[in-house]
Amino acid sequence: MKTSFIIGLAATTLLLGGCTTATEPQTQPDPTDTDHARPAAADGFTGEAGHEEVQALPNRVAITARGVVITLNPFTGEELGKAEVPGNLQLSPAGDGRHVLITSGEQVSVLDVGLVAKPHGQHFHYYVAPPELLDTTLKAPHAGAINSNEGHTAVFSDSTGIVKVFESAHLGNKDLTEAAFDTGAAHAGVALPFADGTVVTSRGTDSQPAELVHMDRAGSVIGSGHPCPEASGVATVAPGVAAFGCAKGVALFAGGKFSTVPLEPGASDLAGSAESSVVLAGNPGARSFTLLDTKEHNARTVELDSAIGPHSLARGPLGEALVLASNGTLTVYDADTGQYKDSLQATAAWDDSAAAAQLISADGYAFIIDPAQQELVVVDLLSWDELYRHHLDFVPEDLVVL
């Protein structure tokens, strides 16, 4: 079950330069703002050469364009680094707040975005550094789903049906220990790890409807499988509690047991929050989304004026429901009642013939890429103000926020 591989820590120096222009902000984010910031301690502790100590870790975004990954300061628009990675790129957070996993064909590359937390006694010191594309690669052919949860990260290889799980904080180590879980056959699947070393993963083939199984550390199935054809999308709401999108509903996993909330036509895009028992569920192209209560096992549909895209659902800092629609509006709803609260024009409108805008929320901000306008938009979710609108000199394709 346990395999190890050696990771080379030598890093490729990234090309540094400017690539964006920004409109003037309405307000300047305050790094001491406790509603947004992640504070640090200062007591003379010395960091590594080339690392600049900061009082709070800022956000950084990684955005893909054709064959490159660009790291930006989302508040100034400054380009911090550019890494060339061939192929059709997909980004996923590694789960440690510092690294981004880049899926490209037969392997997964690792980008260090330069957000460094060093433990010192009972506290941490925080540093920023130039982004680096590490020599590290994870062997996971055609990894389709990468999910982090409870201190672990799972990488699902669609072409082998094998899930590899590692402790997220150990990604930068020279020797990284992985646990391998074999689902039995190649398929487009999903997997979610848990703190106890177990994993919930899909099992099936392209011709056989998938089911979800709970596997122990040894890779043995605990109990029986749970039907979940076309398993896609996952969201967590509390320790040990998760939701998985299926063709005809949303499968819930809680207390080591599965259940299903029926939902037509199912769901492929889910968004959860630790502040709420409600999961947002939707499908690209639909003019609605669903509020699914994981405690009450019921669902409420909210109708929309425009369709949503594949990355249109997110959560606010208090668990609010955030929806980015194809008319370009970002709207906030009460996650318990579905009541409309506010909206603003975030992007240009798009249709099926164009790439959809993408929404990610983190630390009280919404970060949106607009391929049509080549823009990165930052919205303060606490004040509901558009803070920044940066023009990019490339067409953005995928987005990760750390």
168-200 residue pLDDT tens: 999 987 788 899 999 999 999 999 999 999 999
Q: Are 83 and 111 in contact (CB under 8 A)?
A: yes
Q: How confident is the model at residue 210 (pLDDT cuts 50, 70, 90)?
A: confident
* pLDDT (0 to 100) of residue 91: 97
Structure-model confidence comparison of residues 251 and 354, the more confident one: 251
Report d(CA 303, CA 318) in Å as an integer: 22
Report d(CA 98, CA 116) in Å as an integer: 7
Over 70: is that where the pLDDT of 313 sits?
Answer: yes
Segment 370-378 long-range contacts (CB within 8 Å, at least 24 positions apart): 370/346, 370/396, 371/395, 371/396, 371/397, 372/347, 372/348, 373/347, 373/348, 375/347, 376/20, 376/61, 376/63, 376/72, 376/74, 376/77, 377/346, 377/347, 378/74, 378/75
* pLDDT (0 to 100) of residue 207: 72
Residue written as token pair 């083939």: 205
- How do the domains of the chain map onto residue ranges? 1-26+58-228, 232-402
* Mean pLDDT, residues 206-213 taken together: 83
Report d(CA 4, CA 174) in Å as an integer: 10
Q: Are 115 and 99 in contact (CB under 8 A)?
A: no
* pLDDT (0 to 100) of residue 175: 80
* pLDDT (0 to 100) of residue 43: 55
* Mean pLDDT, residues 49-71 taken together: 94
Over 60: is that where the pLDDT of 155 sits?
Answer: yes
Over 90: is that where the pLDDT of 319 sits?
Answer: yes
* pLDDT (0 to 100) of residue 344: 98
- Which helix (H) or strand (E) segment holds residue 116: the answer is strand 115-120
Structure-model confidence comparison of residues 64 and 107, the more confident one: 64
* pLDDT (0 to 100) of residue 278: 98
* Mean pLDDT, residues 160-164 taken together: 95
Nearest to 321 by CA among 356, 358, 359, 284: 359
254-304 residue pLDDT tens: 999 999 999 988 899 999 999 999 999 999 999 999 999 999 999 999 999
Report d(CA 134, CA 193) in Å as an integer: 24
For the record, the structure tokens of 67 come out as: 């064959």
Q: Is 168 helix (H, G, I), strand (E, B) or coil?
A: helix
Q: Work out the percent of the chain whose per-residue pLDDT is above 90.
A: 77
For the record, the structure tokens of 387 come out as: 């803070």
* pLDDT (0 to 100) of residue 110: 95
Over 50: is that where the pLDDT of 57 sits?
Answer: yes
pTM of the model: 0.89
Alpha carbon separation from 226 to 145, 212, 222 (Å, rounded): 19, 5, 11
Over 70: is that where the pLDDT of 24 sits?
Answer: no
Mean pLDDT for the chain? 89
* pLDDT (0 to 100) of residue 18: 42
107-140 residue pLDDT tens: 899 999 999 999 888 899 999 999 999 998 898 9
CATH topology of domain 232-402: Methylamine Dehydrogenase; Chain H (2.130.10)
Beta bridge partners of 390: 22, 376
- Residue ranges with strand state E in 129-272: 132-139, 143-149, 152-157, 162-167, 175-182, 191-193, 199-203, 211-215, 221-227, 234-238, 241-246, 249-254, 257-262, 269-271
338-359 residue pLDDT tens: 999 999 999 999 998 889 999 9
